[in-house]
Structure formats: structure tokens, C-alpha cells
């Protein structure tokens, strides 16, 4: 579609928003579906005109008939295409948070209000991602779409465009789905491991008692499970047996530490990135950690829900208005 | 629009390829009879290539192969056609392009081009043939090509080959009402500009020269020449002399219209200026007949009319020899309305140039015939008596009417026929008769056309077929003008009173070269006539649907035509068609009715979504309401109450009581009116 000048685009968006209100589940009907002939239909009309000339110049009734038939096909196509989108029901089916710079995954469930089959319907965003969906008679289908998440925070994807050219491609029916979906985008985890360790050491001051990781409260060895941190691996045992064992710390649960906003360096975003990396690392290490930062004080825990709460707090930390 | 940048380059799937191949075959097949022979290797190659491509054995041809193919095909085109532009050669070119394009079709863009050309070729086929069979075949091809369009446009869509056919055919059927409406109402304009006559199709029917034996060849064909519907009472069978060509020049072997070849255009100019048709004078016996000629394509301009034409439509020219020429070669079925005055007097005064033309004989040859003519003329008191004597001579001598006459050699053909073989066909009799007249100084000429026709009582028309071709004579007598004489009628009265079949009953030679011609079998007459009547109606109603029949038809539907009436009728039928489509496509179908409590809850959900608290699919309504109550403590009561009612209806009672709905409505109303500002400043950092 053509790009409009900004003020016009704004007015169009406002109008669309009024016309296609936000909803939790959208069933497409007359009021929501737009339909126009496609560029291909110009080709069809040219063919119709050509055949009309053929009929006229040679005064040939049957050539006229083919011309009229194709014209009727062009018009009937608009109805068929409309029908394919009419009654289509779309519902957001959850989404998975992601880290800034990745792509958020959004799921939508597509079905038909009357249980009719739905063919060749495309959902997506211009320049982002699009997927084709087919729904069998009386069925339901779920699709996943990805959406670029360049910044941490709450991502509100633009209105989803849904369109179809089924069956002839001579007409295109489309609509916009305004869902009130939001997905969390966590800060991008700081990448440098060396820095992490340095920060981790700084963090250790906050534990209340200084000790180095993996020495105290050593409880024994168990078989290595994929995902165990490297520093838990008992390398001496590995040298003896050639097999991997992980060290188990019995009272790890009691060992708590705080990840501190104040201990981080750099501007807000850098601090958030570093904290994000630390949260991930600590969670992977199955440690009890808390998060202390302006506006949030999350008591130490080690559950996945705790991790998510920490990441959420990081994601939603107010953005510097001045720009550090 | 969503990104479709690469969609045109998208590959076609197997079902699309199968349908492309079918469409290609369907479109090419009927052209086998209408195009040049050399096109077929190219067509066969392209179909074969597609079939191999389908099995995955070949892909796109490489450039060298493509170049060679194009070179061979267009070389063949230039060699066989000499680069003249005819309809046939244009269609051949288009077919070649179609074949080559389909060889390398593997993406959607190419497929669409092939489909568009296929649609065009379906229509172009009708320039050669507009019969019922051709129309039925056209419908089948339309179904094929439309299904291909659907298959190509939805490569990822599920669905078997058969389900796509159902959709394609369904769509075409759905088009029919609108197509018919457009067909009936669309204006039929005269040709916007005149196309050069491209129809180099074979000429059929009587030719512009007559050598004895020619018409015997025609008599082996049961093809239709034309049909005639009489508005007034039909004339008797032996009055049906359909005049086509008039032959005035004899070179000793062959009869021709004039001494030198005359182009149609020259002839028209001659007829329009120097030698127009003479006056048609009514007599006591003359009778006026009005008829409609439904000409089959003949590739020739002349019409077949009864003598003599007193009135015809503007697109025809009448000549001094009382024949009618159409302004164009008849290359498509067309209707001519003619009025003739049967038994009228023609040329009481003979133009000297015409007299000379009608007395022409070669300087020498056929001496015996000339002598006989001299003797008989001397023995006769006047010209009329002489004519009678010559006519009677055909019955007195043992002349025999046959479709298998012996050959007569190169010279003195008339002598040989009259005195030696005595066996001949109408051309022999007419030729020898005119020769006898001219040898005695009486102006005479040969007329070639058709005689008789088969009456179809059901639809009230005559079918005149090629085997009805006939030749007879016209003699000019003082005070009487031109009079028709048919010596064949003396030898074989059956031929004129009934038809060729009866005349040939003894010899058994009627259509003996065409075992598949239905006309050969008399016991099939009922079936044949029924089928012929259907074809006649097809021709008359469908193929010849023009402005005149359009006005007549619309008037019969609507009464006197006014623009308001037509607009209302068109608008009304369009509306009816759209409603019909909506009904058949299920657009008026509603989903299962939404219960009242659900409608209320949906409004509530929308309201909360607007207030930035949408319900996730994983959250129960109760939990959602608790969250909301937490955020807006002032609204806790209506929120909780509303959802409690909703939950009770959905999960306990199953059905809503009137009180429940009333309280839900009340709660919702209060929520709509409520102050939704957050109690504390939401600036939680």
C-alpha cells in the first residue's frame, strides 16, 4: 500500500481505531472487513476489454459471452474473497517475553464463528512477520508470529493485519485487529562474562559473610545434568574417571545475596543489562538472590516465578527521560 | 498490504502444475482443425515437457534449447505462411507463444500469463466455430482454466485436485446469472472499426466457376449451407431456386461469370453504378414472400435468394443479373432479411451489353451441337417454341441423371455429353441447354445455387445443405424477360419435386462417400430434424443476438422501453443477483446466538480493556474482577456483583434468570457511569 504523509496517516489511524475498536477476541464482519480488487484484476479487466473488442470487431456472440463471463467472475470473486474472511474469529493466545534485541513471539488462535473452513488467510504486520493460516471446517488453528522488540519495556504490537486473496487473487479482503495485547521485553543481558564475574565478586560483599563460591557447605557429588554451571563441575573427578560430576551444596538455599543497583556501573540501561545478566546467571546457578533497585525491593528467592518478577521489574524500570 | 514481494515468484505446487497441464491441453485441443499443421510439433513438445516437468524429470529448458525452439517454430511460421496476416496465422502465432510460455512456467507470474492467454484462446476459438458443440467445449475449457487459476493462486492451501475443480466450477456457475444479465443488456455496437478480412478460411459451397462435375462433388457433402425461415407462407418445393452465382461466359469447358476474373469489390462498384438491378415488375401471378436467410460461414460474399429480390437490407448490393451480394465475405453466421417477388418480370428490355454477354460462345468447338441448334431453330416458329423443343429433347432421348457421370475430356465436351454419354448431372444439363440457346441466338445464362431444402415443420424453416447445390438456366425471351428453365427437372423430376435423395434412390449414390452423415439415413430423420431445430434456435436466438433482437426481447419483458424502466429493471436484477450470491455463499448466516449474559460480559470485558485492564485468556473472570477491584476499590461492589452473577449463570444455573440479568445490567450501567480515575496517583516509580 502507498505511504501517506504523516498527518494523513495519523487521521487514517485514528479513524481505523474508532472503526475497529480494541477487543479481546475479534470476529470479522461486514463492519470490519475492507475489500478492493487487486492489481491482478486490472489485468482481468484488460482481458475483458480485449475480448469485448474481439466480439465487437468480429461480431462474435460467443467471444462476447466469454468477456461477460470473466467480468462476472471478477465481481463474484469479490464476494468469495469477502466470504473467506467474514466470520473469521481471532483471539490472542498468549505470548512469551523476550529480551531486547530479540523478537517477541505472539500467538493467535484462528477459528470461524460458524465453523466454516478458512483458506489462505495471512496474519501479520508489514515489515515484521506474516503467517498463512488454514482452518479446517469446525476447527481451530494457532499461529505464532514474531515481532521485533528493540527496547526493553512493555511492547504493544501494532494492530495485526489480516488479509486474504482466496480464491482467485482478483480481490483482496483485509482488516486490522486491535488487540490489547502486551508483551514484556526484558533488558538485553550484558554479554561480557568477565565483567559479570567481576560484578559477582562485588556482589559477594553484600552477602554479609565473605566466602568464595563452591567451597563452603560442599555436600557431595552427583551426576552431571546438562545445564549445571561449569564452576560446579568437579574437574578433579573428571580427570580421574573421565565422567562429569557436579558438586552439590547442601545449604545453598540459606545462602542469600542481593543484586544491587548501586553496585553496577554505567548509565541506567547498562545497569539494567548487567542486572539482567546477573539474574539469569544466579537463577541458573540455582541460587537465592534478591534484587534491590530504585522502586523495587524483591526479597531473595530462587524460583522461576521469582526470576520472572525480577526480570519484570528490570523491564519496567522507568526510562531515562533525559537520556543518560 | 502484507508483504507479497516474492509471492509472484512463488513456485506452483503439484496440484497447480496438474491443472496447468490440463488447461493447456483443453485449450489447444480444438485448434487442431483450425491452425497450421506445423504448429503441432511445438504444441506437442510443450505439453510433453510439462508432463515431464510434473514428474520432476525436467525443469526449465536452457536458453539454447529455447532459442532453437523459437527459431524452428517461427521459421516454420514464416515458411508456411509467407508472412501474410490472416486470422489463422495470428492464432497460430498466439498458440506458439502460449506453448513456449507454458514450457518455462514454474512460478505464479508465468502461470498467470499462461492462464490469461488461455482465456483469450478459448474466446478466439469461437471465431472459427460458434456451434453448440464448440460452445459446450468452451464451457468445459473455462472450468478447466478457472480451476487452474484457483489452484495457482493458492499453492499452500489444502485441498485436492477435485476440491479445486468444485470451487472453480462453483464460481463459474455463480457467475451465470450476472453473465446472462450482461449478455442480454450490454449494447451490441456495430464494429468499432472495420477489421481487414482476416478469414482466409476455406471457402465452401458453390464456387465461382462451373465445370461439369463440380457440383457432383458438392453433392457428397451434407454440410449446412444456410437456413431460411419464411415469415409468409412457404413457396412450393419446386419453386425454391436459390440463386447464387450467374455464369455468362463459356470457354468451351468451364462456365464463369465473366470473361475475365472480377474481384468482389469491382463487382459491387459495377452493380452500384453502371449495371444495377433492373426493375422488378409484379404480374398477375407474382407473389411476395418475406424470409430470413441464416447464412452459415461460406467465406464468400454472395447470398442465395429467390428471384427476384424486391427489397433487402442496406448491407447488400443487387446486380443486373438479379443476384445479391453481401458487403462482406460471410465469415460468421449472419442473418439477412430479404423480400422477393416470385414470378415477377425481369428485364423486358435487355441492355445491349448484357445481351452480348448472354450470347457469347467460343469461336469454335462443339460443332455438332451448333448444327443441331441451327436445325431445330429453323424448324421452330419462334424462340419460345425452340426452347420447348430443346427442353423436350432431354426427355425424348434416353438421358440419364447420375452423380457418377463419365468424364468428357478437354474439347467438345457438350457434343460428347449430348450425343455420346447422355449421362450427366445438373451442370451438364444446364450447360448444354444454355449452349443450345446461344447457338440459336437466344440470350441465355447458367445460374448456380441451391434447389429445394428440407422443411423443418416444428420450427418452420428450410435447411439447405451442400447436396442441394444445383445449376439451371435462364433464357431471355422478348415480351417475357428472363425466364427460368431447368432441364434437369425434365430428366429427373424427383430432384426438383422432392430432393436429391429421392432422385438417387435407384442409383444409391446419395452421400455414399460420407457414411457418417446423418442425412444419409432416412430412419434418423426425426432425430436429425430435432437436433437441427435446436441448432437453428441456437443460431437464431443466441448467435444472432443483436441490437434488434435485444430491443425485441427487452420490450417483450418490460413493455415499452424507457430509460427509467431499464434502469429499475437492471438495478432490481443486480440486487436479486447479489442477494442470490449472498444466500448461496452463506453470507446471511449468523453464528450460534450469543446468550444475553455473554453479551453483557463482553461489554464489561471491553470496558475494562479500555481502562487498561484486559483479561488474559488464562485469567478467570473472578480473578480478573478481583484484580480490578484491587485497582479501583471504589468500584469493587459492582465489579464483584456483576461477575458473581455471570459466574453463577455460566457455571451453576446454566440459564439466566430475569433477576440475574437485571442485576448484571444494573451493575454494568453503574460501571459505565463510574469514575475510573485511579484512587492514588499511579506514578509508582
**A60 to chain B: closest CA residue:** B127
Is the separation of the CB atoms in B426 and B450 below 8 Å?
no
Q: What phi and psi, each to the nearest 5 degrees, are found at residue B123? A: -70, -40
**Measured between CB atoms, does B146 come within 8 Å of chain A?**
yes
d(CA B447, CA B468): 14
- Residue B572, pLDDT score: 93
Q: Which residues does B445 contact at the CB level (< 8 Å), separation at least 6?
A: B246, B247, B248, B321, B357, B358, B434, B473, B474
Contact B178 A76 (CB under 8 A): yes
Q: What is the pLDDT of residues B626-680, one digit of tens each?
A: 888 888 888 888 888 899 888 888 777 777 788 888 999 999 998 888 888 776 5
- From B473, B471, B469, B470, select the one nearest B485 (Cα to Cα): B473
Among B101-105, B219-223, B249-253, B508-512, name the most confident range: B249-253
- Of B152, B137, B147, which Cα lies nearest the Cα of B167? B147
B334 chain-A contacts, CB cut-off 8 A:
59
Distance separating alpha carbons of residues B162 and B35, to the nearest angstrom = 32
Residue A59: phi and psi, rounded to 5, are: 45, 55
A-chain residue closest to B619, CA distance: A94
Q: List, as one string, the DSSP characters of B186-255.
A: S--PPPSSPPP----PPP-SS-S-B-TTHHHHHTT---EEEEEEESSPPPPGGG-EEEEEEE-EE-SS-E
What's the pLDDT tens digit per position in B156-205?
Answer: 666 677 888 889 999 999 999 999 999 998 888 888 876 665 554 555 66
- Over range B85-104, report the average pLDDT: 78
pLDDT of residue A198: 42
pLDDT at B195: 66
Could you give the dihedral angle defined by the CA atoms of residues B534, B536, B540 and B543, in that order, rounded to the nearest 10 degrees?
A: 80
Dist. CA B99–CA B116, nearest whole Å: 13
Q: Does B606 touch chain A (CB under 8 A)?
A: yes
Residues of chain B contacting residue A72, judged by C-beta atoms under 8 Å apart? 175-176, 178-179, 182
User: What's the pTM?
Assistant: 0.75
For chain A, the distance separating the N- and C-terminal CA atoms, rounded to the nearest angstrom, is 38
Burial of B218 (0-12, 13-18, 19+ CB in 10 A): buried
From A1, A58, A168, residue closest to B1, measured CB to CB: A1
Cell of B564: 427509467
Q: Is A114 touching B (CB cutoff 8 A)? A: yes
CB B30 within 8 A of CB B134: yes
**What is the reported pLDDT for B174?**
93
Tell the burial category of A14 from Cβ atoms under 10 Å away from its Cβ (0-12, 13-18, 19+).
exposed
| Cα separation, B275 vs B120, whole angstroms | 45
Gap between the Cα atoms of B619 and B633, Å rounded:
20
- Sign of torsion, CA A284 A286 A290 A295? positive
Q: Which three cell numbers stand for residue A52?
A: 469485448
Chain B interface, best mutation among A28, A35, A69, by max B CB count within 10 A: A69
Portion 265-304 of A in contact with B at CB < 8 A = 294-295
**Residue-wise pLDDT tens digits, B31-80:** 877 667 777 777 788 778 877 877 777 766 777 877 887 787 777 777 76
Task: State whether A60 and B332 contact (CB < 8 Å).
Answer: yes
| Contact yes or no for B100/B71 (Cβ under 8 A) | no
Across B63-77, B461-475, B535-549, least confident range: B63-77
Q: Which candidate in B2, B144, B620 is best for mutational testing of the A interface (most A CBs within 10 A)?
A: B2
Which residues in chain B have Cβ-Cβ distances shorter than 8 Å to A120?
154, 156-157
Exposure string (b/e) for A267-294, b if CB count within 10 Å is 16 or more?
ebbebbbbbbbbbbbbbebebbbbbbbe
Q: What residues of A are in contact with residue B547 (Cβ under 8 Å)?
A: none
pLDDT at B343: 84
- Whether the CB of B192 is below 8 Å from some CB of chain A: the reply is yes
Do you know the residue count of chain A?
Answer: 324
The CA distance from B604 to B584, in Å, is 36
Residue A9, C-beta contacts closer than 8 angstroms, at least 6 positions apart: A3
* Residue contact B587–A161, C-beta within 8 A: no
Greatest Cα pair distance, chain A, in angstroms, is 102
List the grid coordinates of A60.
462474435
Beta strands B309-312 and B334-342, pairing class: antiparallel
Helices and strands in chain B, H and E counts: 24, 18
Distance CA B295, CA B315 (A): 14
State whether residue A244 sits within 8 Å of chain B by CB. no
- Given an 8 Å threshold on Cβ–Cβ distance, is A79 in contact with B587? yes
Q: What is the predicted pLDDT for the residue at B34?
A: 66
For residue A13 the three cell numbers come to 489511524
Mean pLDDT, all residues of chain B: 83
- Cell numbers 444439363 correspond to what residue? B429
Residue with cell 464468400: B300
Range from A152-156, B442-446, B530-534 that averages highest in pLDDT:
B442-446
Please choose, from the candidates A147, A141, A130, A150, the residue with its C-alpha nearest in 3D space to the C-alpha of residue A182. A147
State residue A250's pLDDT score: 53
Inspect the interface and report whether the beta carbons of B192 and A56 lie closer than 8 Å. Answer: yes
As a whole number of angstroms, the distance between CA B474 and CA B215 comes to 18
Quick check: B238 pLDDT over 80?
A: yes
Q: What is the pLDDT of residue B5?
A: 43
Q: Does the CB of B684 have a partner CB in chain A at under 8 Å? A: yes
Q: Is B258 on the interface with A (CB under 8 A)?
A: no
Q: Which residues from B are below 8 Å from A86, CB to CB?
A: 587
Mean pLDDT by 10 residues, chain A (324 residues): 70 74 77 89 95 90 95 94 91 86 90 86 87 85 89 86 90 89 86 49 41 50 72 76 71 67 81 86 84 84 86 84 46
- Of B7-11, B160-164, B526-530, B568-572, the range with the lowest mean pLDDT is B7-11
Q: What is the DSSP letter of B543?
A: I
Closest CA to B204 of B183, B175, B226, B237: B226
Sort out which chain B residues have CB atoms less than 8 A from A43's CB and list them.
112, 116
Task: Search chain A and give the residue with CA nearest B116.
Answer: A47
From the centroid of its chain, how far is CA B357?
A: 41
Of B120, B123, B178, the CB nearest to A75: B178
Between B19 and A17, name the one with better pLDDT: B19
Question: Does B323 score more than 70 pLDDT?
Answer: yes
Partnered with residue B247 across adjacent β-strands are: B446
Which residues of chain B lie closer than 8 angstroms to A169, CB-CB? Answer: 149, 153
Task: Report A:19-58 residues touching B (Cβ under 8 A).
Answer: 21-24, 27, 40, 43, 47, 50-51, 53-58
- CB-facing half-sphere around the CA of A287: CA atoms within 13 A: 22
Q: Note whether A138 contacts B: Cβ–Cβ < 8 A.
A: no
| Residues B391, B376: Cα–Cα separation, whole Å | 12
Enzyme catalytic residues of B: 426, 470, 486
CB within 8 Å: B614 and A113 = no
- Listed in sequence order, the DSSP H helices in B444-524 are 487-491, 493-497, 500-503
Cβ distance A83 to B586 less than 8 Å, yes or no, reads yes
The widest CA-to-CA distance across chain B, in whole angstroms, is 140
Measure in Å the smallest separation between the Cα of B179 and chain A Cα atoms: 5
Identity of the highest mean pLDDT range in B132-141, B151-160, B400-409: B132-141
B185 contact residues in A (CB cutoff 8 A): none
Phi, psi of A40 (to 5 degrees): -60, -30
Q: Name the residue among A182, A204, A154, A156 with its Cα closest to residue A313.
A: A154
Contact list in A for residue B585 (CB cut-off 8 A) is: 79-80, 83
pLDDT > 90 in chain B, percent: 20
Q: Which grid cell is A303?
A: 524460583
Residues from chain A contacting residue B3 (CB–CB below 8 Å): 124, 126-127, 130
Query: What is the predicted pLDDT for the residue at B81?
Result: 62
Q: Which residues contact A183 (CB under 8 A, 6 or more apart)?
A: A95, A96, A97, A98, A104, A106, A147, A149, A154, A155, A157
DSSP string, B61-105: PPHHHHHHHHHHHHHHHHHHHTT---HHHHHHHHHHHHHHHHHT-
Put simply, whether A168 touches B (Cβ < 8 Å) is yes
HSE of A154, CA atoms in CB hemisphere, 13 A = 9
B369 class by beta-carbon count within 10 Å (0-12 exposed, 13-18 middle, 19+ buried): buried
Query: Does the structure show a pLDDT above 60 at B4?
Result: no
Average pLDDT of the segment spanning B487-510? 77
Whole-Å CA distances, A317 to A147, A277, A294, A320, B213: 21, 16, 9, 9, 107
Other CB atoms within a 10 A radius of the CB of residue B260 amount to 7
Which candidate, A123, A128, A124, A177, places its Cα nearest to that of A148? A128
Interface of B with A in 97-126 (CB under 8 A): 112, 116, 119-120, 122-124, 126
Are the C-beta atoms of residues A121 and A110 closer than 8 Å to each other?
Answer: yes
Kindly determine whether residue A130 and residue B3, on different chains, have CB atoms separated by under 8 Å: yes
Distance set, CA A209 to CA A255, A260, A282 (Å): 10, 16, 18
- The pLDDT value given to residue B214: 64
pLDDT at residue A214, as a whole number: 42
Instruction: Pick the closest to residue B459 from B130, B228, B215 (CA basis).
Output: B228
* CA B10 – CA B676 distance, rounded (Å): 52
Alpha-carbon separation of residue B534 from B456, B496, B527, B529, B531 (angstroms): 11, 27, 11, 9, 5
CA A140 – CA A81 distance, rounded (Å):
20
In B, residues 564-593, which contact A (CB 8 Å cutoff)? 578, 581-582, 585-587, 589-591
Which ipTM score applies to this complex? Answer: 0.75
Structural element, H or E, at residue A65? helix A61-85
- Cα separation, A122 vs B402, whole angstroms: 77
Q: Does A221 touch chain B (CB under 8 A)?
A: no
**Nearest-by-CA chain B residue for A297:** B685
Amino acid at each position: 500500500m502507498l505511504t501517506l504523509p504523516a498527518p494523513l496517516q495519523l487521521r487514517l489511524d485514528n479513524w481505523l481505531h474508532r472503526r475497529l475498536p480494541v477487543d479481546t477476541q475479534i470476529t470479522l464482519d461486514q463492519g470490519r472487513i475492507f475489500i478492493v480488487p487487486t492489481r491482478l484484476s486490472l489485468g482481468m479487466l484488460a482481458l475483458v476489454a480485449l475480448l469485448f473488442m474481439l466480439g465487437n470487431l468480429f461480431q462474435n456472440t460467443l467471444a462476447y459471452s466469454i468477456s461477460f463471463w470473466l467480468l462476472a467472475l471478477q465481481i463474484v470473486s469479490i464476494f468469495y474473497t469477502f466470504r473467506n474472511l467474514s466470520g473469521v474469529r481471532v483471539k490472542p493466545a498468549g505470548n512469551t517475553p523476550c529480551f531486547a534485541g530479540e523478537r517477541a513471539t505472539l500467538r493467535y488462535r484462528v477459528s470461524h464463528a460458524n465453523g466454516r473452513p478458512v483458506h489462505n488467510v495471512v496474519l501479520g504486520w508489514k515489515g515484521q512477520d506474516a503467517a498463512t493460516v488454514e482452518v479446517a471446517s469446525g476447527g481451530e488453528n494457532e499461529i505464532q508470529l514474531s515481532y521485533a522488540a528493540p527496547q526493553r519495556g512493555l511492547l504493544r504490537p501494532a494492530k495485526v493485519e489480516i488479509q486474504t486473496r482466496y480464491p482467485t487473487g482478483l480481490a483482496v479482503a483485509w482488516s486490522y485487529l486491535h488487540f490489547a495485547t502486551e508483551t514484556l521485553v526484558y533488558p538485553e543481558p550484558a554479554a561480557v562474562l568477565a565483567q559479570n564475574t567481576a560484578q559477582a565478586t562485588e556482589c559477594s560483599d553484600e552477602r554479609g559473610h565473605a566466602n568464595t563460591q563452591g567451597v563452603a557447605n560442599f555436600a557431595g557429588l552427583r551426576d552431571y545434568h546438562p545445564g549445571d554451571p561449569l564452576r560446579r563441575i568437579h574437574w578433579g573427578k573428571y580427570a580421574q574417571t573421565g565422567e562429569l560430576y557436579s558438586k552439590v551444596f547442601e545449604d545453598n538455599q540459606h545462602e542469600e545475596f542481593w543484586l544491587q543497583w548501586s553496585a553496577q556501573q554505567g548509565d541506567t540501561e547498562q545497569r539494567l543489562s548487567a542486572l539482567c545478566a546477573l539474574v539469569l546467571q544466579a537463577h541458573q546457578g540455582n541460587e537465592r538472590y534478591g534484587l534491590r533497585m530504585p522502586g523495587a525491593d524483591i526479597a531473595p528467592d530462587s524460583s522461576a516465578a521469582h526470576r520472572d518478577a525480577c526480570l519484570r521489574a528490570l523491564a519496567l524500570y522507568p526510562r531515562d527521560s533525559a537520556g543518560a | 498490504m502484507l508483504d507479497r514481494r516474492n509471492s509472484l515468484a512463488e513456485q506452483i505446487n503439484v496440484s497447480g502444475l496438474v491443472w496447468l497441464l490440463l488447461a493447456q491441453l483443453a485449450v489447444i485441443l480444438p485448434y487442431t482443425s483450425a491452425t497450421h499443421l506445423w504448429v503441432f510439433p511445438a504444441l506437442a513438445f510443450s505439453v510433453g515437457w510439462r508432463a515431464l516437468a510434473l514428474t520432476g524429470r525436467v525443469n526449465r529448458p536452457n536458453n539454447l534449447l529455447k532459442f532453437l525452439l523459437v527459431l524452428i517454430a517461427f521459421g516454420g511460421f514464416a515458411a508456411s505462411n509467407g508472412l501474410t496476416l490472416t486470422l489463422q496465422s495470428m492464432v497460430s502465432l498466439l498458440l506458439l507463444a502460449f506453448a513456449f510460455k507454458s514450457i518455462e512456467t514454474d512460478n505464479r507470474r508465468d502461470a498467470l500469463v499462461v492462464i490469461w492467454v488461455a482465456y483469450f484462446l478459448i474466446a478466439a476459438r469461437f471465431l472459427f466455430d460458434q456451434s453448440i458443440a464448440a460452445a459446450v467445449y468452451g464451457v468445459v475449457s473455462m472450468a478447466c482454466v478457472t480451476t487452474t487459476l484457483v489452484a495457482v493462486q493458492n499453492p499452500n492451501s489444502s485441498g485436492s485436485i477435485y476440491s479445486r475443480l468444485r470451487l472453480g466450477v462453483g464460481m463459474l456457475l455463480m457467475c451465470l446469472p450476472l453473465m446472462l444479465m450482461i449478455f442480454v443488456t450490454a449494447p451490441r455496437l456495430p464494429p468499432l472499426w472495420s477489421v481487414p478480412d482476416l478469414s482466409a478460411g476455406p471457402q465452401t459451397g458453390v464456387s465461382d466457376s462451373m465445370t461439369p462435375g463440380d457440383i457432383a462433388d458438392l453433392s457428397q457433402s451434407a454440410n449446412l449451407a444456410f437456413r431460411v425461415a419464411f415469415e409468409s407462407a412457404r413457396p412450393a418445393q419446386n419453386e425454391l431456386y436459390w440463386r447464387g452465382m450467374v455464369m455468362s461466359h463459356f470457354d468451351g469447358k468451364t462456365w464463369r461469370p465473366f470473361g475475365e476474373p472480377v474481384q468482389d469489390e469491382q463487382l459491387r462498384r459495377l452493380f452500384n453504378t453502371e449495371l444495377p438491378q433492373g426493375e422488378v415488375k409484379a404480374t398477375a401471378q407474382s407473389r411476395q414472400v418475406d424470409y430470413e436467410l441464416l447464412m452459415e460461414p461460406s467465406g464468400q460474399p454472395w447470398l442465395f435468394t429467390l428471384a427476384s429480390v424486391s427489397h433487402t437490407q442496406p448491407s447488400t448490393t443487387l446486380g443486373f443479373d438479379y443476384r445479391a451480394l453481401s458487403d462482406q465475405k460471410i465469415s460468421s453466421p449472419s442473418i439477412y432479411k430479404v423480400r422477393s417477388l416470385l414470378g415477377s418480370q425481369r428485364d423486358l428490355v435487355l441492355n445491349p451489353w448484357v445481351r452480348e454477354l448472354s450470347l457469347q460462345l467460343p469461336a469454335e468447338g462443339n460443332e455438332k451441337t451448333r448444327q443441331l441448334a441451327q436445325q431445330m431453330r429453323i424448324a421452330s416458329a419462334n424462340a419460345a417454341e425452340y426452347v420447348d423443343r430443346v427442353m423436350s429433347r432431354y426427355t425424348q432421348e434416353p438421358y440419364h441423371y447420375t452423380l457418377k457421370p463419365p468424364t468428357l475430356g478437354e474439347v467438345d465436351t457438350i457434343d460428347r455429353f449430348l450425343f455420346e454419354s447422355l449421362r450427366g448431372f445438373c451442370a451438364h444439363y444446364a450447360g448444354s441447354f444454355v449452349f443450345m440457346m446461344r447457338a440459336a441466338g437466344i440470350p441465355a445464362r447458367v445460374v448456380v445455387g441451391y434447389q429445394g431444402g428440407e422443411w423443418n415443420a416444428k420450427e418452420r424453416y428450410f435447411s439447405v445443405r451442400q447436396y442441394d447445390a444445383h445449376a439451371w438456366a435462364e433464357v431471355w425471351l422478348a415480351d417475357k424477360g428472363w425466364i427460368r428453365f431447368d432441364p434437369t427437372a425434365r430428366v429427373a423430376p424427383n430432384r426438383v419435386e422432392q430432393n436429391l435423395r429421392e432422385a438417387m434412390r435407384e442409383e444409391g449414390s446419395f452421400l455414399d462417400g460420407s457414411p457418417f452423415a446423418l442425412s444419409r439415413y432416412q430412419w434418423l430423420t426425426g432425430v436429425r430434424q430435432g437436433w437441427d431445430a435446436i441448432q437453428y434456435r441456437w443460431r437464431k436466438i443466441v448467435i444472432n443476438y443483436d441490437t434488434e433482437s435485444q430491443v425485441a426481447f427487452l420490450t417483450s419483458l418490460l413493455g415499452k422501453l424507457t430509460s427509467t424502466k431499464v434502469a429499475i429493471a437492471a438495478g432490481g436484477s443486480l440486487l436479486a443477483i447479489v442477494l442470490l450470491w449472498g444466500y448461496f455463499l452463506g453470507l446471511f448466516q449468523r453464528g450460534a446466538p450469543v446468550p444475553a449474559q455473554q453479551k453483557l460480559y463482553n461489554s464489561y470485558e471491553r470496558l475494562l480493556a479500555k481502562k487498561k485492564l484486559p483479561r488474559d485468556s488464562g485469567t478467570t473472570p473472578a480473578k480478573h474482577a478481583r484484580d480490578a477491584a484491587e485497582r479501583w476499590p471504589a468500584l469493587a461492589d459492582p465489579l464483584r456483583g456483576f461477575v458473581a452473577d455471570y459466574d453463577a449463570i455460566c457455571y451453576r444455573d446454566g440459564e439466566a434468570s430475569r433477576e440475574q440479568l437485571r442485576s448484571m445490567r444494573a451493575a454494568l450501567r453503574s460501571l459505565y457511569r463510574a469514575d475510573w480515575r485511579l484512587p492514588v496517583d499511579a506514578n509508582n516509580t
